[in-house]
Homo-oligomer: A and B are copies of this chain.
Amino acid sequence: MTDIEKMMQQIGIKARQAARKLAWTDGGAKNAALLAMADALVTGVKDLQRANARDLEAAEAKGLSAAMIDRLRLTDAYIETMAEGIRQIVALPDPVGEINTMRRLPNGLQVGLMRVPLGVLGIIYESRPNVTADAAALCVKSGNGVILRGGSEAYHSNRAIASCLAQGLAVAGLPAEAVQFIDTTDRAAVGALLKSDDYVDVIIPRGGKGLIKRVMAESKIPVIKHLDGLCHTYVDSEADLDMAVELTMNGKMQRTGVCNATETLLVHQAVAETFLPKVAKALNEAGCEMRCCAASQAAISSVAPVTAASDEDWDTEHLAAVLSVKVVKGLDEAMDHIEEHSSRHTEVIVTKNHDRAMRFVREVDSSAVMINASSRFNDGFQFGLGAEMGISTDKLHVRGPVGLEGLTTQKWIVLGSGQLRS
């Protein structure tokens, strides 16, 4: 066993022990701890910014772009927002211990399901340092221990944040070891974490495709993952075309670098000539490039510049002001295209026709399927779940936004009075 493996084993053992205590801590005590964690961030602002300065220096030395350096900076306002994020989790209901129904069987046994924490989560992220606080707070609220592994460019910041959070837990009388930070930037630690199936119940990667692929290839532990967001908006022949323009614009342009942005617009041939020039004008004015099939190119080219779509465009998550546009014969071709090219994240139909709306909702197999709404709504806050740990494109366990419930599981409980099986 290497030193890194030994270190990871120690982290795992401590996290598992702390998680067992946290699992049945009352909701009130967990909430008090969350408030103490938020307070520890606010009172620790000087320490956080001192640690952050080391990351910023390294980033400058590495020649990172000004925008990237800015995303790393722990300003007073950023720290206050992190703390406020934790306080908002206090207000969410405690999922642990919920029992929905206890059925009574003919032999008198009462049988039902109780919601319980998953155990210990390993979270590997490349994002901004606020994920350290968000993820830890969601884990504490759902009764899970957590092992955090952030990106190396935010190492000192993440370490200081995790230390504040553990301190907050201890102040509130809960085990500080429930929040574990991997105190090295050595990549071997990730490898060791992915093999810690004795101590870690679930791995949640939050980052780019490279990270997700590494996790999928190496992990011996079940993974809740968020892969691509290649989302479609289909404008039916019976759509309200003004609404369709607004939903397309909102889906594509309200924010472009996110997983629930619309990447491909599918348009029923019967409305292509009326709808496409309208939407193309708006997209063009907003600075959106269009990559078009032949039919949509013909419909648009007189009102806005267009590019011919390559085969690859139908499979590309642009994450930018770029939209793939295709004319289809009708609902079936639209659904076939989605079946073939979608990443099963979010799909939208715009229509006034009830039968087609219902067919789309039933038959399209994605984490969220919407009628007459913007694809941008597939989000934990928007769905009313509160904070989220990402949006799962997996089919097992949790699909779509991963909120507190997604971080729990259920076990059977059986209340008997001496029943025997015959």
Interface residues of A (CB under 8 A from B): 20, 23-24, 97, 103, 105, 109, 111, 114, 116, 118-119, 201-202, 216, 220, 222, 224, 240, 243, 246-247, 250, 254, 339, 361-363, 365-374, 376-378, 382-384, 394-397, 399-401, 409-422
Contact between chains at A412 and B397 (CB < 8 Å): no
> In the complex, which residue of chain B has the Cβ closest to the Cβ of A108?
B373
Contact between chains at A111 and B383 (CB < 8 Å): yes
CB neighbours of A413 from chain B (8 A): 361, 368-370
- A415 to B352, alpha carbons, bound, how many Å? 12
CB neighbours of A109 from chain B (8 A): 373, 377
CB neighbours of A103 from chain B (8 A): 384
Known: A24-B362, A397-B396. A369 touches B418 (CB 8 A): no
CB neighbours of A414 from chain B (8 A): 368-371, 373, 377-378
Contact between chains at A254 and B421 (CB < 8 Å): yes
* 8 A-B pairs closest in CB distance: A373-B416, A368-B412, A370-B414, A376-B421, A397-B397, A396-B397, A250-B420, A243-B418
- A422 to B132, alpha carbons, bound, how many Å? 26
Contact between chains at A411 and B368 (CB < 8 Å): yes
Q: Tell me if A's interface is mostly helix, strand, loop or mixed.
A: mixed
CB neighbours of A377 from chain B (8 A): 109, 414, 416, 419, 421
- A134 to B400, alpha carbons, bound, how many Å? 31
**11 intermolecular pairs with C-beta atoms under 8 Å apart:** A24-B362, A111-B383, A116-B365, A202-B395, A222-B396, A247-B418, A365-B411, A370-B413, A370-B415, A399-B412, A400-B412
Contact between chains at A412 and B372 (CB < 8 Å): no
- A128 to B353, alpha carbons, bound, how many Å? 50
> In the complex, which residue of chain B has the Cβ closest to the Cβ of A104?
B384
- CB proximity of A348 to chain B, nearest CB, Å: 8
> In the complex, which residue of chain B has the Cβ closest to the Cβ of A363?
B24
Contact between chains at A415 and B371 (CB < 8 Å): yes
- A414 to B361, alpha carbons, bound, how many Å? 9
- A326 to B246, alpha carbons, bound, how many Å? 69
- A111 to B396, alpha carbons, bound, how many Å? 20
Contact between chains at A411 and B97 (CB < 8 Å): no
Contact between chains at A416 and B24 (CB < 8 Å): no
- A413 to B373, alpha carbons, bound, how many Å? 11
> In the complex, which residue of chain B has the Cβ closest to the Cβ of A260?
B421
- Which of these, B243, B363, B399, contacts A23 with CB under 8 Å? B363
Contact between chains at A23 and B365 (CB < 8 Å): yes
Known: A376-B421, A384-B103. A412 touches B369 (CB 8 A): yes
CB neighbours of A362 from chain B (8 A): 24, 97, 114
Contact between chains at B416 and A370 (CB < 8 Å): yes
- CB proximity of A143 to chain B, nearest CB, Å: 11
